[in-house]
Amino acid sequence: MTTAAVTLVETAVRAGIEVCFANPGTSELPIVAAMDRDPRLRAVLGLFEGVCTGAADGWARMTGRPAATLLHLGPGLANGLANLHNARRARTPVVNWIGDHATHHVGFDTPLTSDIAALAGSVGWVRRVRSPADMAEASLAVVEAALGPPGRVASLIVPADCQWLPGGGPLSRPPAAASRELPGGAVEQAARLLRGGAGALLLGGTALTERGLRAAARVAAATACGVWIETFPARQECGRHVPAFPAVPYFPEQARAALADARGLVLAGACEPIAFFAYPGQPSRVVADGTPLVVLADPEAGVDAAIALEALAREVNAPAVVAATPAAAVPFVTTGRPLDPDVLGHAVAAFTPEAAIIVNEAATTGLSWSAAHAGSAAPHTILGLTGGAIGQGLPVALGAALACPGRRVIAFQADGSALYTLQALWSMARERADVTVVICANRRYHVLQIELARANIEAGPEALSLTDLTRPAIDWVALATGFGVRAWSVGTDTDLAAALGRALAEPGPSLIEAVLH
């Protein structure tokens, strides 16, 4: 008998789904069985759902195509929601298959029953499979919804009986051609603003591809405009081979200072910069009220910012090529120094292998890393924490590594954030993912200590204890070993260099705990 779960899987595979990051339960077993018989779909087990959803995000950021997740009812979805929030903000296509009780069972309100649609709806598109006959269309629709553009988190709620009952044949249809049309007048408006002098370009989304960055450099060469990158890009090409631009700083007073001279802002794949958090007496907006904003490429509308920037370059008669002065590699000379964020950031940049993928969840340790160091590194791709929900880094690194065999992933990772989803280490070991995890072990929630000081809050022992990770200190070598990942702890530049050399030379995952002083 062919079950409707087979229909689900076959339709999804035809629509381009190659991998499913899964944490199934009893109500998803027919889907497990269907994946079992289809060698075209790779099933990857996560010990916690946040690992699965983050890995799906990482996979799709690198391939442009969605991965599937398999989640167990409402609580399984709930455990994966924070990283789905991040995927939503990054506009990553993700397909969730969420099991539910059989249609005749759900009304009995048994223990695991909950409002799955409310949870799934909070992060994007959602549809419930109504019957086995509905399955093929539903399976295709959820992939199409995820693909957008823009990319979306799309969830399919799949009652158990709609999995186990006989299903129809799979469905497929050609993908909709993405509209590449630029909104009328935007290019001309942007050109006028930048030609007038003292305007700035703000790059995000697809503007941060190599193509987009080169076009932005041409625009800057022709108009002398400033160019900025959004604070937390989902994906950015970086390194000595591409033009480098500074990121809008995280703290709003710094961001305001950075953009103070901009008389107008052209938004290319980015949204208007807004303070990440609100502060007493401070405006939320980073640019002054009344500053002209031109939306050159709206990421929500799925407009390709790289194409828009090329059109803008033509409009401003930019040179065809800007001869970039490639930043020189900065050798990492070891002297036995203790580690601080700058030394650590320099080492990561110096050791970055060609075509590496750097997953940046280094929090305060990495706040200024990209500007200070990444530009001098070998060509690489950066994946950032666009959504702000910490605990993304290790799962995204897992997904990116499986998406790109042959490319080394460096998870540049804050210690506090890594602890949310450390179970990803086990999946890295199981899948032999080429991930080098660098834990920035400052043993505190440093950003909270900074924010307490900024707010002039005199923190007593109770408040400080809530920002402190030293009592007891976490032993990352032990944690990694427990999950089957080899690990070293280092406290000096010399030991760090040796560990990075070893870790990057061998296949499979490893972890370096870099203890900061």
Positions 325 through 384 that interact with a second copy (CB under 8 A): none
313-320 contacts at long range (C-beta below 8 A, 24 or more positions apart)? 313/215, 313/218, 313/219, 313/222, 315/187, 315/188, 315/190, 315/191, 316/191, 316/194, 316/195, 316/219, 316/222, 316/223, 317/222, 318/218, 318/219, 318/221, 318/222, 318/223, 319/218, 319/221, 319/222, 320/218
**Which tokens belong to 96?**
């969730």
**How many Å apart are CA 196 and CA 183, to the nearest integer?**
21
Q: Select the span of 139-147, 156-164, 332-340, 499-507 touching a second copy (CB under 8 A).
A: 156-164
Q: Could you tell me the smallest distance in angstroms from the CB atom of residue 445 to a second copy?
A: 8
Asked if 216 contacts 339 with a C-beta cutoff of 8 angstroms, the reply is: no
C-beta neighbour count of 185 within 10 angstroms: 9
Q: Select the span of 56-64, 104-112, 191-199, 257-265 touching a second copy (CB under 8 A).
A: 104-112
314 binds a second copy (CB under 8 A): no
Residues 115-144 touching a second copy, rule: CB under 8 A, are 115, 118-119, 121-123
Interface pick for a second copy out of 58, 391, 393, 399 (rule CB under 8 A): 391
Q: Give the nearer residue to a second copy in terms of CB position, either 9 or 306.
A: 9
Interface pick for a second copy out of 4, 17, 22, 52 (rule CB under 8 A): 22
Interface pick for a second copy out of 12, 15, 19, 35 (rule CB under 8 A): 35
Asked if 81 contacts 124 with a C-beta cutoff of 8 angstroms, the reply is: no
Q: Select the span of 59-67, 72-80, 241-249, 492-500 touching a second copy (CB under 8 A).
A: 72-80
The separation between CA 251 and the C-alpha centre of its own chain, rounded to angstroms, equals 21
Residues 272-291 touching a second copy, rule: CB under 8 A, are 274-278, 280, 284-285
Which of these, 410, 398, 401, lies nearest to 238 by C-alpha position?
A: 410
**Which tokens belong to 25?**
């339960």
Q: Could you tell me the smallest distance in angstroms from the CB atom of residue 119 to a second copy?
A: 6
**SS3 annotation, 425-464:** HHHHHHHCCCEEEEEEECCECHHHHHHHHHCCCCCCHHHH
Q: What is the DSSP letter of 208?
A: G
Interface pick for a second copy out of 79, 139, 360, 442 (rule CB under 8 A): 79
Q: Could you tell me the smallest distance in angstroms from the CB atom of residue 200 to a second copy?
A: 20
111 binds a second copy (CB under 8 A): yes
Asked if 437 contacts 359 with a C-beta cutoff of 8 angstroms, the reply is: no
Q: Give the nearer residue to a second copy in terms of CB position, either 277 or 317.
A: 277
419 binds a second copy (CB under 8 A): yes
Q: Could you tell me the smallest distance in angstroms from the CB atom of residue 26 to a second copy?
A: 5
Q: Could you tell me the smallest distance in angstroms from the CB atom of residue 84 to a second copy?
A: 8
Interface pick for a second copy out of 262, 295, 358, 389 (rule CB under 8 A): 389
Residues 445-464 touching a second copy, rule: CB under 8 A, are 447-448, 451-452, 455, 457, 459-463
Residues 230-269 touching a second copy, rule: CB under 8 A, are 232
The SS3 call for residue 314 is helix
